[in-house]
Amino acid sequence: MDRTRVVALAALTTALVLVVDQAVKALVRHRIGPAETRDVLGSTLRLVHVENHGVAFGRFSGNALVVGLLVALALLALIVYFATHLDTPLVWLPTGLLIGGALGNVVDRITVGPVTDFIKLPHWPAFNLADLCITGGVVILLIVVERDARRRERAEQHGQDVEHGPADHA
């Protein structure tokens, strides 16, 4: 796939995640009071309004500098990986999910203060759509990286240059 298209798909995915995440969080903040609970599927799935001041289920709460540094480092590493692996099939999808999710929570921190969490499952801390995209993005990235490694290994076994097709053995 053309590198420009890969970047465009990652940017589109990022924008879509960010817009939907922020819209849903705004609805939650305006329609569900803090600490209020609404059953969706009985006690299996509930909507709540939780203000999260930390990352990863409230860790590092109250330390904005640590949170900011962790997010910045993770995004930088992802962007460097993405920029150096544009030829990897589907790399745009997890990249867009991860950046969109991270930015969704960063926007909360900048505009609201805490991150708005609203999805509650039994025996699990509340989370939000951005968190879901981050988690899904990590899983998909692992799959994409593993599949690409296998693709490159097969190509090498058959004497092919992964980026340019069959090797010229003249």
Residues annotated as catalytic are 117, 131
Helices (H) and strands (E) in the chain, counts: 4, 5
Nearest to residue 125, comparing CAs of 46, 68, 70? 46
Q: How far apart are the first and last CA of the chain?
A: 28
Return the residue matching tokens 């298209």. Answer: 5
Q: How far apart are CA 142 and CA 26, in angstroms?
A: 31
The pair of structure tokens assigned to 69 is 């540094």
> Cα separation of 125 and 127, whole Å?
6
